[in-house]
Structure 1
Amino acid sequence: MNDMSPAAVPTRSSRMVEFLLSLRLDALPPDVVRQARIRLLDGLGCGLYGAVMPWGRIAADVVYEERSSGAATIYARRDPVAAARAALVNGTATHGIELDDIVPGAHVHPGAVVIPAALATAEQHGASGERLLAGLIAGYETMARVGRAIGEAGWGFHITGVAGPVGAAVASGVAQGLSFEEIMRAVGIACSNAAGIKSFTQGSGGMIKRMHAGRAAESGVLACALARKGFTAPLAALDGRFGLLEVFGGDQARPQALDHGLGEGYAVSRVWTKVYPCCGVLHTTAQALHALRVAHGVDPSAIRSVRIGTNKRAIALNGEIAPKETMAAQYSMPFTAAVALTRDPKDPRFYAADALNDPVVCDLARRVELYADPEMEALYPRYGTRAEVRLDDGRTLETKLLDAHGTPADPCSEVEAKEKFRCLAAMTNTAESIGQVLAAVERLDKLQSVAPLSNALRAGVRD
């Protein structure tokens, strides 16, 4: 019943929340805190770049037209708004260029959801940098565990939009110092906001995928605001009867993932920092084919055909040959393979609207064949690839890659992560501002409030 105390209803979800609410930075391994800072920088960089993309601009314009008021920053803008609306806009922007991070095996993009929710909450409530980092760590852990708990049954659902509201609620609740009962109520509210279908993979309307993250971030912040005022929701909405796991995961749900091994490791330390601006499923393909092209000095005009072995899920979801918009291109294995063999697959501009009709890329994409490779199928959810490039002179060049750079198996260095942030942030902010953001994040756990970070983000916006 809704009027029962959470303590009287011990569940896997309540044990998870209780543990995450107890987190203290000084009790965590130093590397976990360091990784949280890197995650924050990565998310901020992606969000600043995405803020000037069409979807980022539209979301921000709509919120400003509402005359929203509050203390939370919208990336690449100077005027603050209400926390939930900032989370909506910033989550949409962060997920807008397919460079935001992933938790392997959980099928979630936590940075695009958790960071906007935690930052907006910290700004709205005057929280310390330590509380922001604690909320970030707790939110990542929640989203990763919920994503894995849903299991593989969530076919057709975008798990970031399903698990995201819960992760955002925990992140927001921890950042503002809500009680255990309040966070449990917020999780209950957030579960009824779980949503996101993968119709965007069918070639049109791709902006909506970006907003799945924004809506998830907004939902979590709003859930906490409601719970703080006494709004109730089912305490077992996550792992109880007709709860999120049962509804989305069915008989493949794994509720034990919610509380198994709590404290033995942290999701924030096992995150995939994306190097290529496309769906994570495609990264091994992009990396392997680009490396093959460089190693053999392949002339794109001399390529007869390309054959790529991958898993069956990728063939079903990532097989579009002639994408007509950016989102579809970023989800297309044939298009990404062609970009890797003819252009620079790390550059988001080769997925922009005006690049989708590039005759060299489009012609080669039509000559890319996908097939189910038994080894890659067995390795799933690792996104391995095997590829053959057949040349006009009769040669066949072969390559195989099981783990892309940036994954936990081949992680990016801190230097690489900071360089990625600088590169992306330069789209909207001055060099001075970028340096101030880096400095604020470096000492974040010592800051009494997140104001220095907020000021650096707002004051340094380019005209």
Structure 2
Amino acid sequence: MPVVPSKIVKYITEESYTSGSNQIKQSLKETLADIIACTIAGTKTNVFEIVNKFVRSQYGSGASSIIMTSHKVNATGAALVNATSANALDMDDGHRLVKGHPGAIIFPAVLAASEEYLISGEEFMTSLLIGYEVAIRAGILAHQLRPEYHCTGSWGAIGAAAGVGRVIGLSTNEIHQALGIAEYQSTYSPMMRCIEKPSMLKDGIGWGCMTGISASYLAKEGFSGNPSLFEMEEAVPYLQELGQLYRIDELYYKPYACCRWAQPGIEALRELLEKYDISSVNVNRIKVYTFAESACLSRTHPKNTEEAQYNLTFPIAAYLYSGEVGPHQVLNELDHPEILNIMDKIEVYESEDLNSEFPNKALSKIELEDLEGNLYVSGVHQAKGDYDYPLSAIEKRQKFNSLVEPILGTNRCEDLFNCIQNIEDLKTIHILSEKLSN
């Protein structure tokens, strides 16, 4: 028997990108540009190569693109591999209250389904918006309702199911089923275990994306699911704000290719480097004061890019030596002797004051002592890119260019960016996906 339409279903079926404010439209385009850039750059990683090979061998041919290749597979396979590359460098968007990365799950799922269903650019943007808004609220609820900190793949799958459900035209009842299927079959992976032992599993994002899109396709075939967390009493305040408060405006964008928890320390170091004439060869000791989750990040010399990304001291050392922490550092400078030498001079201390601010704010400070005994103390810093400490429009464009231009070249990079800015005019999303092919 069909269920009575709920607030969440009403939102999924009635949301419209066209009727949104100019602010929401601009925010969504900035989000799309950022996640596309991260996905393109992520195709240069080893984890992409592995999952790409797996998907091409295990998933049949179809209409959905594997980004930066000429290959097309079925929607579920494309979602898996593109989600993997979207998060491969840990530069993709996030939201403080969910302590994770909605875009890397939502974008690949919605894109894959949109290609298969020949969706227009305007309807693609509507579905992308739905996916983000549902995923973020699912993440907030998941952290309230579950005793252990579970990764993005768990709650992100629910958002992916919502966005894909709109793309493929699920009925009221089918949307209810899809959300329940996505939650029940999602990864539920304990996040801190991945922090302690970094691996290609990362945030469970690839599998979560595949779970989310599969949930909607299963629901369309008549597969049933349990009531999702949006049916619980705790969900009421978040359901009431749907369509009124857009949490996509609360996203953060990452200037560095490493875990968000390490980035406040980089900002604190940046303050000192801008204020004082400090040379990396003249550093005797660095003390980092931070919150507990940040202090749990690895401090050992990384043996692969995942260990470099989920590391507290490597990004700080890389920034001190190179002035940046981008794909080059986490892919090609893992054994750089100067960076490793600086790592060995870094001490980490947990601060109760900074603990009390997390997750609303991720904060760190640094004390740096040079070889002459001079002490330099930073202020308390949050990671740059949050909505209350945002990257400028110029900085966002620079990030896009820095990730895309080395792979596509200047002309194709510019063409892709312009396409995103006018995406609502596309008659079919294939116009965008063609620009993402090799």
With structure 1 as the length reference, what TM-score do the two structures score?
0.88
Q: Are residues 1:298 and 2:290 paired?
A: no
Alpha-carbon distance in 2 for matches of 1:367, 1:155: 36
Identify the range of structure 1 (78-87 vs 441-450) with the bigger mean alpha-carbon deviation: 441-450
Q: Deviations over 1:401-437 (max 9, x none)?
A: 4332211112123333233222212243243332332
Amino acid at match of 1:449: T
Indicate the SS of the match to 2:367: strand
Residue 325 of structure 1 deviates from its aligned partner by 2.3
Identify the range of structure 1 (364-373 vs 140-149) with the bigger mean alpha-carbon deviation: 364-373
Contact 1:76 1:428 in 2 (8 A): no
Residue 287 of structure 1 deviates from its aligned partner by 1.9
Alpha-carbon distance in 1 for matches of 2:299, 2:145: 23
Q: Deviations over 1:101-157 (max 9, x none)?
A: 001111120110000011111101001111111111111111111111122675764
In structure 1, the residue matched to 2:349 is 371
Where in structure 2 are the equivalents of 1:150-169 lying within 5 Å?
150-151=142-143, 157-169=149-161
- Work out which of the residue numbers 113, 132, 137 in structure 1 matches 2:105: 113
Q: Are residues 1:338 and 2:330 paired?
A: no
Q: Are residues 1:208 and 2:201 paired?
A: yes
- Work out which of the residue numbers 201, 214, 224 in structure 2 matches 1:232: 224
Alpha-carbon distance in 1 for matches of 2:381, 2:171: 43
Contact 1:76 1:429 in 2 (8 A): no
CA 345–419 in structure 1, closer or farther in 2 if over 3 Å, else same: closer
Where in structure 2 are the equivalents of 1:64-75 lying within 5 Å?
64-66=56-58, 68-75=60-67
Amino acid at match of 1:209: K
With structure 2 as the length reference, what TM-score do the two structures score?
0.93
Indicate the SS of the match to 1:428: helix
In structure 2, the residue matched to 1:383 is 362
Q: Deviations over 1:276-306 (max 9, x none)?
A: 1111111111122133124312111221111
CA 137–77 in structure 1, closer or farther in 2 if over 3 Å, else same: same
In structure 2, the residue matched to 1:269 is 249
Indicate the SS of the match to 2:284: strand
Identity rate, percent: 25
Identify the range of structure 1 (295-304 vs 159-168) with the bigger mean alpha-carbon deviation: 295-304
- Work out which of the residue numbers 325, 329, 337 in structure 2 matches 1:359: 337
Q: Deviations over 1:378-416 (max 9, x none)?
A: 211111111100112111101124332211112123333
For the aligned residue pairs, the C-alpha RMSD in angstroms reads: 2.1
Where in structure 2 are the equivalents of 1:290-439 lying within 5 Å?
290-315=270-295, 317-352=296-331, 354-381=332-359, 382-439=361-418
CA 49–339 in structure 1, closer or farther in 2 if over 3 Å, else same: same
In structure 1, the residue matched to 2:269 is 289
Residue 57 of structure 1 deviates from its aligned partner by 1.3
CA 268–429 in structure 1, closer or farther in 2 if over 3 Å, else same: same
Alpha-carbon distance in 2 for matches of 1:286, 1:155: 31
Contact 2:2 2:172 in 1 (8 A): no
Contact 1:91 1:217 in 2 (8 A): yes
Residue 330 of structure 1 deviates from its aligned partner by 1.2
Alpha-carbon distance in 2 for matches of 1:372, 1:67: 46
Contact 1:200 1:208 in 2 (8 A): yes
Amino acid at match of 1:77: T
Alpha-carbon distance in 1 for matches of 2:410, 2:323: 25
In structure 2, the residue matched to 1:250 is none
**Which aligned segments of 4 or more residues in structure 1 are displaced greater than 6 angstroms?**
none
Amino acid at match of 1:101: D
Indicate the SS of the match to 1:371: strand
Alpha-carbon distance in 2 for matches of 1:118, 1:415: 27
Q: Deviations over 1:222-255 (max 9, x none)?
A: 1111111111112x132568xxxxxxxxxxx953
Indicate the SS of the match to 2:378: strand
Alpha-carbon distance in 2 for matches of 1:374, 1:292: 23
Indicate the SS of the match to 2:289: strand
Amino acid at match of 1:356: L
In structure 1, the residue matched to 2:73 is 81
Alpha-carbon distance in 1 for matches of 2:230, 2:135: 14
In structure 2, the residue matched to 1:31 is 23
Contact 1:166 1:220 in 2 (8 A): yes
Residue 178 of structure 1 deviates from its aligned partner by 2.1
Amino acid at match of 2:385: G
Is there any run of 5+ residues in structure 1 with no aligned partner, and where? 242-252
Residue 181 of structure 1 deviates from its aligned partner by 1.8
Q: Are residues 1:142 and 2:139 paired?
A: no
Residues matched between the structures, number: 435
Is there any run of 5+ residues in structure 2 with no aligned partner, and where? none
Amino acid at match of 1:88: L
Amino acid at match of 1:346: V
